[in-house]
Amino acid sequence: MQHLFGSEIPDLVRDFQAHIRTKYHAEVLVEENRNAQGKTVYHVFLSGNTPHFLAIKQETEVFLTEWLERKNAQAWQNGVSSINVPHEAPSANPQSNSRFSFLSYFQQQKITVFLTALCTLIYLLMFLGFAEPLLLLTHFPAEPEQEEEIWRYLSHTLVHLSNMHILFNLTWWWIFGGAIERQLGSIKLLQIYLLAGVITGVAQNVASGPAFFGLSGVVYAVLGYVFVLDKLNKQTDFEVPDGFFYMLVVGILLGFAGPLVDINIGNTAHISGLLVGMLVAFLDRNIRVKS
């Protein structure tokens, strides 16, 4: 038997049991005992003969992190600064107390973190007086000689022009880009980024010229990918909410209203990105979740 984690929170243990039962059709064993302070601790074990043993073992820490984040978000919305979720990190020995490793969580989404940090850094540099040189350096190729500057086919995705622009893009990128990377690996997310970054850039350039920036095309590719794969591959667990597709359609339709309020929106990049993501997801419909 492999010890996965110990917790004083029964809701956490019940949610984990339900998650593993739903996703992997497997059962975990829960044992109760009391710690040195006299509090009840629920220890969760997994049989070594369980199907998807490695996948469940690896997913345990991710589940604990995401559960904690959700509870903290709910607490914040209810006016509580944070919640304390005492538990023991995954360990081979139920008596060993090791702190929960958030570093491991970030290591599972290196591409997500790197691009988020890079976009944020560039946005800050623009406010420090480097806007003009950055825009000149990163825009999509506008002249024949710039076509050989291959970074321009992707660098336009890293620049944002307003607070709302960067907040919208990085929020969705962090949530669903991170989910793709944790479940399917960094290479898969990088593939989607590279493919969507280039294709949406070319499409938007054909439609309106090279004066466009932002991660929006890639974000729509990520959203389209998780929507389709969540329907076609039952191994994945992106927690796509009801009405998700309608949200995507409404977002694109609202983009066409941008000129009415003097806002230029890259609708071609959004649409082409969505189609790219959906197509890649269809091709990946039999992909295996990282184990």
Query: Which of 7, 155, 186, 216 is labelled catalytic?
Result: 216
Contact 203, 253 (CB under 8 A): no
- Alpha-carbon distance 133 to 129, whole Å? 9
Give 189-218 as a DSSP string. Answer: HHHHHHHHHHHHHHHHHHHH-S---SSHHH
Q: Which amino acid is at 287?
A: I
DSSP state of 93: S
Q: Residue 92: in which H helix or E strand, if any? A: none
- Alpha-carbon distance 180 to 62, whole Å? 13
Contact 274, 221 (CB under 8 A): yes
Q: In what order do the strands lie in the sheet with 2-7?
A: 29-34, 40-46, 2-7, 87-88
- Is 43 among the catalytic positions? no
Query: Which of 3, 43, 270, 272 is labelled catalytic?
Result: 270
290: alpha, beta or left? (left if phi > 0; alpha if psi -120 to 50): beta
- Is 216 among the catalytic positions? yes
Q: Which residues pair with 28 in a beta bridge?
A: none
Give the 3-state secondary structure of residue 30: strand
Q: Which residues are catalytic?
A: 216, 270
